Chains A and B, each alone.
Chain A
Amino acid sequence: MSIFEAILLTVITASTPLVIAALGELVTERSGVLNLGVEGMMIMGAVAAFAGAQTSGSPYVGIICGIAAGALFSLLFAFLTLTLVANQVATGLALTLLGLGASGMLGEPYVSVPGIRLEEIVVPILSDIPVIGHVLFRQDLIFYLSIALVIGVSWFLFRSRAGLKLRAIGDSHTSAHALGIGVIRTRYLAVMFGGACAGLAGAQLSLVYTPQWAENMSAGRGWITLALVVFASWRPWRVFAGGYLFGAVTILQLHAQAFGLGIPSQFLSMLPYAATIVVLIIISHNRRTTMINTPASLGKAFVPER
């Protein structure tokens, strides 16, 4: 395997959780709900996936546990913001704080326990293509899922009736309600889809990226995900491209550290966060285009008239 292939492989591993979690948040936000709790749902997914894999001995059970943990945890957020119309920003923060605490507590028995890595699935024939074959067709299940999700979410939002309804709710919940679309129910489902994706992204962290459990191992990726959705102006394929851009920054930064450029490692570690800020500036400085792209009801509470 060439160095080039090796770098590509690590970029993919670093990008996959970002793409998955951002796709989930994209669907949530398209329905008009701003869930800032991605970091919390992701870390809950990571710890649940690790625990599930350890107890059962199978990383696939771990994946299911991660998805379930993310979705269940997001229900808390949905109940508070949709049923009790609590402030979405504050509730999202609460979800993250609670997730970081609870995962630390639940994960304590698993610290420094050797993890189980999700094995690769080799696609016959295609994997024999030089360079691309090795990089794209000898991957773990979660990578294939991430590609399926990009295609699926994109199809759902722009080609299906349910997706049209979801976007309508995100743009004007009062009109959608008047048309008889179940605003609250759709939003519950959208939030849970976001939670499930964040949980799956967390599972990737503790089963593929670094197959082990460490406290706070999500390291701000949930927050970067939120920036990615803005960066992508709420479009699935741009989330995909953006996720890979950020994954590449993360990995090149690591390679630069190993290479020893004479720049202190801490400054290189700042790069993904600094890049997020720079990207946000570039994307949002044109007030008008952001206004057009943002779902119009994003972050606004909806109480049906009775």
Chain B
Amino acid sequence: MRIELEKRAEVSKLFAFVSPLLALVLTLAFGAIMFAMLGKDPVGSLDAFFVEPLLEVWSLHELAIKAAPLILIAVGLAVCYRSNNWNIGAEGQFTIGAITGSYLPIVFYDWHSPLVLPLMLILGALGGALFAAIPALLKAHFNTNEILTSLMLVYIAQLFLDWLVRGAWRDPQGFNFPVSRDFAPEAVLPAIWEESGRAHWAFIFAIIAAIGVWFMLRYTLKGFEIIVLGQSERAGRFAGFSSKKMIWFSFLFSGALAGLAGISEVSGSIGHLQPAISPGYGFTAIIVAFLGRLNPLGIIASGLVLALTYLGGEAAQLSLGVSDKVTRVFQGLLLFFVLSCDTLIYYKIRIVWSRLRSGAA
């Protein structure tokens, strides 16, 4: 048996829409097999994992909380990937954004002012952008592979956070736990609708960012520049666009969004700094970006889907007694299926059962 590909004359619009859905269905089917192999009832497990978390209002709030950083980061990554810049280090930019944004509420905890929160958000975005500037500088001026440098910086950022919360920024009243002091009320991102759940403003930031970037990509010259340079650097050069400037733009932009996501998460959901502040949001956002077809509006939808895998993982751990690592497996599978289903957009797939028949034809 052999699989042959035949290039389509035109990109299939139908499959561009269907392929992410097909990927979701395949992931669910594989999930069912996996649960069955773990000795669980497949239908009941999928129900507990993917449906039950959607049935209660408080848990919809939790969904928004987890979707917010994913969408924020993925929207920035989409700009990078579309322009053919591979920022893989969003997890590090997220961490540094959380640190720089926490500077005010931790070091100047006596300063009470309505200005604190907006300044924190700005500092967080700046921190993320500056950290992303390192791989950008190295790629633009030293021709260094941005995938590897941005990734190495993730480990550096996490170790730096670890040092801060165990050393300089450790809460003196924290019973020696590696946590910073709790943020004062004016440094906490407010809830959107306090009566019903915890979801906070980060979700609104995420939606605004997605719509803004969608508008930029579709209607502005900058968006055109991103797409042209991404598809062909040569064509972009003839149009007078600079790929060097695009490296800077896309990295600073995605870094700023990741940094904003970082400080929003710390200020809205956690309330202090601690050694681990992200369950891999920066890496999961890569899946979100691809599942959303690198389209900001698609990313809103895919961010919600991936947020559901986090919630489902927590639920599965409680109600099914399955390891919460199942979440990561689902996320990885989903990305695999998204990538393989995308082949259908550009190619017709033919399965040839024997060598002879294709030779005769």
Across the interface, which residues of A come within 8 angstroms of B155, CB to CB?
Answer: 219-220, 270, 273
A285 near B142 with CB under 8 A, answer yes
Q: In the complex, are the beta carbons of B147 and A36 less than 8 A apart?
A: yes
Chain A residue nearest in CB terms to B328: A101
The CA of A159 and the CA of B144, in the complex, are separated in Å by 31
Q: Which residues of A contact B349 (CB under 8 A)?
A: 84
Query: Contact check: which of B151, B331, B339 meets A87 at CB < 8 Å?
Result: B339
Q: Is the CB of A267 within 8 A of B144?
A: no
Closest to A306 in B: B4
Partner of A266, one of B5, B163, B327, B336: B163
User: Are B343 and A85 closer than 8 Å at their CB atoms?
Assistant: yes
A84→B327 CA distance, assembly (Å): 26
Quick check: B343 and A284 within 8 Å, CB to CB?
A: no
Q: Which of A76, A101, A266, A270 lies in contact with B329, CB distance below 8 A?
A: A101
The answer to whether A97 and B325 touch across the interface, beta carbons within 8 angstroms, is no
Chain A nearest CB: distance from B63 CB in Å? 20
B136 at the A interface (CB under 8 A): no
Q: Is the C-beta of A132 less than 8 angstroms from some C-beta in chain B?
A: no
Provide the residues of chain A in CB contact with B86, threshold 8 Å: 89
In the bound complex, CA of A223 to CA of B152 (Å):
8
Known: A86-B343, A306-B6. A93 touches B335 (CB 8 A): yes
B167 at the interface (CB under 8 A from A): yes
Given A85-B343, A86-B342, A277-B153: A266 and B332 interface contact (C-beta under 8 Å): no
Cβ of B283 under 8 Å from chain A:
yes
Report the contact-size class of chain A (Cβ under 8 Å from the partner): 35 or more
In the assembled complex, the Cα of A303 lies from the Cα of B201 at a distance in Å of 47
CB of A94 within 8 Å of the partner chain:
yes
- Which chain A residues (24-54) contact chain B, with CB distance < 8 Å? 36
A102-B332 CB under 8 A given contacts A85-B5, A91-B339, A93-B286: yes
CA distance in complex: A269, B161 (Å): 13
Asked if B131 is an interface residue, CB under 8 A from chain A, the answer is no
B117 to chain A, nearest CB (A): 29
Least distance between B332 CB and chain A CB atoms (Å): 3
Q: Does A122 contact B (CB under 8 A)?
A: no
Complex formed: what's the CA distance from A226 to B327 in Å?
27
B221 proximal to A (CB < 8 A): no
Determine if B29 is an interface residue (Cβ-Cβ < 8 Å). Answer: no
A273: min CB distance to chain B, Å = 4
Mark A57-94 against chain B: 1 for CB-CB distance below 8 A, else 0. 00000000000000000001000100111110111011
Contact between chains at A105 and B162 (CB < 8 Å)? no
A287 interface residue, CB < 8 Å from B? yes
What A residues does B331 contact at CB under 8 A?
97, 101
Q: Which chain A residues in 234-292 approach chain B with CB under 8 Å?
A: 264, 266-267, 269-270, 273-274, 276-277, 280-281, 284-287, 290
Known: A227-B148, A270-B159. A86 touches B138 (CB 8 A): no
Q: Which residues of B contact A (CB under 8 A)?
A: 3-7, 86, 88, 138, 142-145, 147-149, 151-153, 155-156, 159-160, 162-163, 166-167, 283, 286-287, 290, 323, 325-333, 335-336, 339-340, 342-343, 347, 349
Identify the 6 closest CB pairs spanning chains A and B, nearest first: A101-B328, A98-B332, A266-B163, A104-B325, A105-B325, A94-B335
